[in-house]
Amino acid sequence: MNLVHLLPVGKLDGALLRELRDAIPRRLHVACEVLPYELDPTPSYHAERQQYHSSEILQRMQALVRAHYWRLLAVADVDLYIPILKYVFGEAQMGGPCAVVSLHRLRQEFYGLDRDDALLGQRVLKESVHELGHTLNLRHCQDYRCVMASSHSVEWIDLRESTLCDSCRSQVESKAALAGKRA
């Protein structure tokens, strides 16, 4: 079965990572494991923006990809950006194998609201499935409930389901990428 490796970026909440590891296989036909080491985000920090360049994190992940890895999904807790945008929730390599998501702007506390671990867990799951969808060559979907809908704020993420719509699913399955067969 296709295997997604989760890569912690810096120190992360172990319970949250384990929850994500257990949840992803319920949305995509994949197995999921947490890697026993972490990626240091520091080299991707840009003081002029006080943020971390997500494309640079993806580049550095490339060196960690092993032949038996199907997808490598980094989970960060720092604020990510790409130069043309104020921030990103995540970024992926179209067609794979690497993607990164950040918890930073998924936390209610970021917006001055009370901490909500259940909501955070749902949001990071949706973002993870979304970025993994891009690694499977899926583009943004017009159906706002589809996990592949674009989102410019957490409110949009909350509107989405954590699953692919029928159209996105059939695109992926026609390539047999998620058919659960041996790659």
Annotated catalytic residues are 131
Chain residues binding Zn ion by CB under 5 A are 141, 143, 146, 148, 165, 168
In the complex with Zn ion, which residue's Cβ is closer, 101 or 165? 165
Q: Could you tell me if 130 and 147 are in contact, meaning their C-beta atoms sit under 8 angstroms apart?
A: yes
CA dihedral 7, 11, 13, 16 (to 10 degrees): -20
* Shorter beta-carbon distance to Zn ion: residue 56 or 143: 143
Q: Kindly tell me which of 1 and 150 has the beta carbon lying closer to Zn ion.
A: 150
Counting Cβ atoms within 10 Å, is residue 131 exposed (0-12), middle (13-18) or buried (19+)? buried
CA distance 27 to 47: 37
Is the Cβ of residue 41 or residue 90 nearer to Zn ion in the bound state?
Answer: 90
Quote helix, strand, coil % in the chain, to nearest 5: 35, 20, 45
Alpha carbons within 13 angstroms on the beta-carbon side of residue 126 total 26
- In angstroms, the CA 139 to CA 148 distance is 7
Q: How far is the CB of 123 from Zn ion (least distance, A)?
A: 14
